[in-house]
């Protein structure tokens, strides 16, 4: 897996979607035609240029058929408070962040704890593209072609024991490279967590790229969590610690404002944020004053995940 350093592609040098797609067409015309493989996936070839993922499986089973947002939309409009509170701050302020080399500390209730290089955790031969909806608590959404592997693949490799009921994730703490961490926006480093059942769900992804390219710094390089039925703040970025534990972890936004951000953070149009409605959302790319659309329960992934919360009061456990 190719993990680029920040001086490979600066935040202001991002390739536009139109140029990127034309490049992909040219490469495809010069390469072997795609080969079909089992259960709804196709094999995709992409550029060998530094910063581009060489090969991945396109997973159509878990992918939405909705139109994707452009590369520019996805990489210039972000929530990543480690680089600032504005939506363009991550794009503008992340050029000095170094995502390589990258190690992840594994601790807690697992048989295989220790410090792992990212390439030891993520099998580059098992990468998949999955087109997921992303719904943010501020009532905006995107459709993003992520590239990664199921989190379950990593968890199985680490062999958590029977006491592991939750898995917590921590963002790297580098205030010299992440200017937002120099401010008291949140208690740093950023922490998020899932139940083990949520973590093992086949939808839950560790992403290392999008649109065929390694994750850029503003998107959570070199590895981030993607949990498509939850609000975006659960999809923690630039992960460098994973901890298995028996008790429910304290998470950053839940600690900062527990009345606004619940531990579960499931997309639920019937549970409003205290300061705005969650019943409708605005798809980025349709203009700030573009028409809104109804928010879907569990962000449209109800069939795949509703069983995880059977019998729970989803207003109380929001």
Cα–Cα–Cα angle for 5, 130, 164, rounded to 5 degrees = 80
Mean pLDDT of 146-174: 98
Q: Where are the domains of the chain?
A: 11-309
Confidence (pLDDT) at 51: 79
The pTM score is 0.86
Per DSSP, the three-state class of 29 is: helix
Confidence (pLDDT) at 291: 77
Which of the four CATH numbers 3.40.50.2300, 3.90.420.10, 2.40.50.140, 3.10.450.50 does domain 11-309 have? 3.90.420.10
Q: Which residue has the tokens 């606004």?
A: 260
Instruction: Specify the range with the lowest mean pLDDT, choosing from 25-34, 118-127, 175-184, 269-278.
Output: 25-34
Which among 227, 229, 42 is positioned nearest to 150, based on CA atoms? Answer: 227
The model's pLDDT over 250-295, given as tens digits with 9 standing for 90+, comes to 999 999 999 999 999 999 999 999 999 999 999 998 876 667 999 9
Confidence (pLDDT) at 30: 31
Query: What Å distances lie between residue 315 and 34, 273, 274, CA to CA?
Result: 46, 11, 13
CA contacts within 13 A on the Cβ side of 104: 27
β-strand 140-150 against 280-283: which pairing, if any? Answer: parallel
pLDDT-derived band at 40, boundaries 50, 70, 90: very low
Confidence (pLDDT) at 111: 98
What are the E-state strand segments in 4-75? 36-37, 41-45, 55-59
pLDDT-derived band at 33, boundaries 50, 70, 90: very low
The model's pLDDT over 66-105, given as tens digits with 9 standing for 90+, comes to 999 999 999 999 999 999 999 999 999 999 999 999 999 9
């Amino acid at each position: 897996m190719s993990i680029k350093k920040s001086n490979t592609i600066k935040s202001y040098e991002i390739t536009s979607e139109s140029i990127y797609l034309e490049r992909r067409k040219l490469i495809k015309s010069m390469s072997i035609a795609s080969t079909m493989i089992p259960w709804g996936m196709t094999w995709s070839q992409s550029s060998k240029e530094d910063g581009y993922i060489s090969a991945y499986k396109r997973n159509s089973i878990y992918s939405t058929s909705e139109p994707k947002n452009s590369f520019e939309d996805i990489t210039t409009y972000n929530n990543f408070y480690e680089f600032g509170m504005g939506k363009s701050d991550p794009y503008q302020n992340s050029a000095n962040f170094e995502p390589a080399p990258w190690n992840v500390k594994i601790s807690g209730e697992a048989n295989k704890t220790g410090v792992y290089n990212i390439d030891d955790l993520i099998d580059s031969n098992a990468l998949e593209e999955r087109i997921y909806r992303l719904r943010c608590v501020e009532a905006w959404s995107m459709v993003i072609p992520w590239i990664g592997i199921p989190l379950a693949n990593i968890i199985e490799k680490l062999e958590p024991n029977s006491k592991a009921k939750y898995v917590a994730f921590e963002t790297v703490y580098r205030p010299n490279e992440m200017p937002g961490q120099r401010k008291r926006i949140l208690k740093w480093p950023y922490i998020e967590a899932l139940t083990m059942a949520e973590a093992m769900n086949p939808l839950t992804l560790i992403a290392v790229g999008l649109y065929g390219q390694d994750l850029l710094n503003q998107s959570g390089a070199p590895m981030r969590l993607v949990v498509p039925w939850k609000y975006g703040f659960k999809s923690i970025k630039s992960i460098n610690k994973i901890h298995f534990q028996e008790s429910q972890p304290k998470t950053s936004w839940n600690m900062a404002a527990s009345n606004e951000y619940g531990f579960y953070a499931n997309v639920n149009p019937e549970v409003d944020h205290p300061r705005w409605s969650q019943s409708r959302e605005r798809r980025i790319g349709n203009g700030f004053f573009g028409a809104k659309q109804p928010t879907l329960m569990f962000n449209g992934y109800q069939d795949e995940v509703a069983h995880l919360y059977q019998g729970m009061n989803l207003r109380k456990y929001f």
